[in-house]
Structure 1
Amino acid sequence: MRQEDIWDSVAAQAYDTPGTGMFAADVVGATVDRLVELAGGGEALEFAIGTGRVAVPLAERGVKVTGIELSTAMIEQLRQKVDEATIPVVVGDMATTAAPGEHALVYLVFNTIGNLLTQAEQVECFRNAARHLTPGGRFVVELGVPDLRRLPPGQPGVVFATDEGYIGVDSYDPLRQHLVSHHFHFGDDRQARVFRTPQRYVWPAELDLMGQLAGFQLESRHADWRGAEFTAESRSHVSVYRLA
């Protein structure tokens, strides 16, 4: 499926979970605090802005934010929060679409670079970020570390989450560095609702090479937005790349 078909009106309307998960106040607060610091008073551009989970509170902190978003359904949800004058959004993909303005910061959160399903597209995403940045500007990527150590030999998938009325399963294609997250939601009847998101997972060292190809150098890498040390046991990272 195309990404714009995956993120349709049904997915967009169910995307926001105020106060829980990635919408929890401490998660959003730490993200916004760090992005305000990295913007340094300049303008910011969010690739795959979605429903504005990060962009809206960032704009409320005084940072001028522009977005690029492929899904018009996600933009419609964003427009219920803020208007075009407050946070302008250009419809398009994050690898090729251009947005107006000069930006000190481009950011891409919550594994979204994985929505680009080829290495070439992910490299182009870095190059697109570079095109939007002023000299010395920063590109920030939040991304999970591939968790292949949980995958036994010969087993193509693992359960990553269980909760009342929910099971999450990741299935892997190691040859293409692809995974599909399968989200099963169910009630008391025999029917379950399934939502699938295909991704291309990226190793941190591979991400650094993509940055170098686009003219970036890695400035910092931490395990979270609060600056925890990144170690071999870290499940995710926030990597900051600086344009020469």
Structure 2
Amino acid sequence: MTLGNAIYDQKLANVYDRMYPIGEDTDQAVEFIAAHTPPGGRVLELGVGTGRIAVPLARRGLTVHGLDGSEAMLAELRRRDPQETVTAQLGDFTEEGTGQVFDTVTLVLNTFFVAITKEQQLGCLRLAHEQLVPGGRFILEAFDPAPYHHLQKPDFSMRHLDERAVMLDTLTVDRSQQLMLSTHTIVDGGGAPETRKHVLRYAFPFEIDLLAQLSGLRLVDRSEDWRGTPYTASSLRHVSVYEPDTHSPWPSATAG
């Protein structure tokens, strides 16, 4: 799979929800996505991970399908969702579709950037378009890379995972290719520290809009967060909503 650089193994899957402890943000994301989906509608989450978003959406009566490239993350999803209210599928969302269509396709928490070439990002957006019903919505959440683009030296930080474990992070940036290399080292007293590396290809919002346009998608709304705060030049992230462009040369998916 082309996303192999960013697939979470069991070690990272076990701590993923503690890496991103964003309960309130999760609630707002679920509200936002549900509001853009017809009652009882169908949702596809690309990079579904542990089901932080997908499971609450399914509990609202939506039919939810999740695609992820990590078996370890899908195992965590099954633990969170033993009743299998979310249909989970192993696959690379830059190359593989589900063969189905949905009212809403969503890609949250910077997951779009694990596609580390423009071609992979374009493939992701084209597949998102192909899996949308006419009039459907594609919702993408990502950070604005402007603060990182001019990073001159490695950035070091530490995350507290629990009372016995911390994660040490190192971030370096290659501006010429818009690549970010993140190194995660987990220190938990369970033996020698273990290090994992992930590469992201960041893209600026206007660049994503252009790739989306080439994929048959049109931007209809952009906010700073899931609460709908207006997006401005100082915003550090964005939640962008796209719809199939009826004037695009790329054909829309059709239900049935």
CA deviation vs aligned residue, 1:163-206 (integer Å, no higher than 9, x gap): 56444332011111100122344468996443322100000000
Partner of 2:155: 158
Give the equivalent residue in structure 2 for 1:231: 232
What amino acid maps onto 1:123 in structure 2?
L
Measure the CA separation in 2 of the matches of 1:49 and 1:98: 14
Q: Work out whether residues 23 and 53 of structure 1, in 8 Å CA contact, stay in contact via their aligned partners in 2.
A: no
Q: Secondary structure at the match of 1:231?
A: coil
3-state secondary structure, aligned to 1:53: coil
Aligned length in residues? 238
**Separation of aligned partners in 2, 1:84 and 1:99:** 21
Is 1:116 the counterpart of 2:115? The answer is: yes
What is the distance in 2 between the residues matched to 1:117 and 1:163?
A: 25
* Residues 189, 79 of structure 1: alpha-carbon distance in 2 compared, 3 angstrom cutoff: closer
Matches of residues 1-244 of structure 1 in structure 2 within 5 Å?
A: 3-4=3-4, 6-17=7-18, 22-41=20-39, 42-83=41-82, 85-148=84-147, 151=150, 155-159=152-156, 161-162=157-158, 165-186=166-187, 192-244=193-245
* Mapped partners of 1:84, 1:106: distance in 2: 22
| Counterpart code for 1:31 | A
Structure 1 length-normalised TM? 0.88
Contact preservation (8 Å) 1:181, 1:198:
yes
Code of the aligned partner of 2:94: A
Do 2:150 and 2:175's aligned partners in 1 also have CA atoms closer than 8 Å?
no
Which consecutive unaligned segments of at least 5 residues does structure 1 have? Answer: none
Give the structure-2-normalised TM-score: 0.84
CA contact (8 A) 2:149 2:175 kept: no
- 1:135–1:178 distance in 2 versus 1, CA, 3 Å: same
Write out per-residue CA displacement over residues 97-137 of structure 1, whole angstroms, 9 at most, x where no aligned residue. 12143311000000001111100110110100011000111
CA RMSD of aligned residues (A): 2.4
Mark the CA change 1:107 to 1:72 in structure 2 (over 3 Å): closer, same or farther.
same
- Structure 1 residues 224-233 or 4-13, which shifts more? 4-13
Of 174-183 and 119-128, the range deviating more from structure 2: 174-183
Q: CA deviation at 1:26?
A: 0.8
SS of 1:39 mapped into structure 2: coil
| Aligned residue type for 2:58 | A
Q: Contact 1:130 / 1:243 at 8 angstroms: preserved in 2?
A: yes
Conservation of the 8 A alpha-carbon contact between 1:115 and 1:199: yes
Q: What is the one-letter code of the residue matched to 2:34?
A: V
Q: Are the structure 2 counterparts of residues 105 and 150 from structure 1 closer, same or farther at C-alpha, using a change threshold of 3 Å?
A: closer
Shift of 1:151: 3.5
Q: Quick one: percent identity of the two aligned structures? A: 32
Q: Which amino acid aligns with 2:33?
A: L
Amino acid aligned to 1:9: Q
- For structure 2, the 5+ residue unaligned runs are 161-165, 246-256
For residue 205 of structure 2, what is the amino acid of its counterpart? Answer: P
Cα offset, 1:83, TM superposition: 4.5
Alignment-mate amino acid for residue 128 of structure 1:
L
Between stretches 233-242 and 179-188, larger displacement belongs to 179-188
Could you say what secondary structure the match of 2:36 adopts?
A: helix
